[in-house]
Amino acid sequence: MIKIVLVEDQALLRAGIRSILETRDGMRVVGEAGDGAEGVEVVLRTHPDVVLMDVRMPGVDGIEATRRLMAAGTGARIVMLTTFDHDEYVIQALEAGAAGFLLKDAAPDRLADAVRVVAAGDSLLAPAITRRLIETHVRQATARSELLGRFAALTEREREIARHLARGLSNADIGAELYLSEATVKTHVTRLLSKLGLRSRAQAIVLAYESGFVRPGDAEGAA
């Protein structure tokens, strides 16, 4: 059973999302909150697997709430909900530790699939929307040698997998391309995240672009 908490300031939207998710087998909404501060309390009290978190809320927004949850050591996977595909705050949320993001107007099946993907340990980073966000962020940032140097600690296989992560591929997809089992890929991902000092695949992807380890356009045509 996947346990879910909804953090969204619009009560009608929360109710709509809840009704969608609770019609799906294996999913249960265990808590709701109307702002980020309340959301942090609910998540720490209910220990969900997945949190659907609005980016923009009055008071404590989704980014700050995500930072607080990461600092508290929650094991929940956080998906940011946003209205616009160009939301400038999404990249900040990924850096804060969110597992990805989803547009609020996503189809019901897409919403349910997103919850399953994130609960399984993958990130919602495949859409071209996310690539645009990352590339825009990279153009504004200077690739620093100390960031790139962090990848030197990885083995060649781990660096190869990091490049595939930058394409937004799931563990299963990476395994298919590299002729590895999904479990083996998951082990490599866990190790490379530990070596890089990161909490999530999303943070690894942002670091890969920021450092220049992967450049905009490289992942698009990777084989």
What average pLDDT does range 154-179 have in this prediction?
A: 90
What's the one-letter identity of residue 202? Answer: A
pTM of the model: 0.65
Residues 189 and 144 in one domain: yes
φ, ψ of residue 51 in degrees (nearest 5): -120, 125
Residues 70 and 89 in one domain: yes
Average pLDDT, the chain: 83
The candidate with the shortest Cα–Cα distance to 20, out of 87, 118, 105, is 105
> Does any domain span residue 119?
yes
Q: Checking DSSP bridges between strand 77-82 and strand 50-54, what pairing results, if any? A: parallel
**Looking at 76, 104, 124, which one is the last position of a domain?**
124
The Cα–Cα gap between 156 and 140 comes to 29
**Looking at 124, 148, 171, which one is the last position of a domain?**
124
> Does any domain span residue 72?
yes
Domain span holding position 18: 2-124
- β-partners of residue 50 are 4, 77
pLDDT higher than threshold 70 for residue 125 = no
User: In the numeric block, which tokens belong to residue 154?
Assistant: 């990885």
- DSSP E strands in the chain: the ranges are 2-7, 27-33, 50-54, 77-82, 100-103
List, for residues 40-78, the tens digit of each pLDDT value: 999 999 999 999 999 888 889 999 999 999 999 898 999
Residues 120 and 36 in one domain: yes
3-state secondary structure of 194: helix
CATH of the domain at 9: 3.40.50.2300
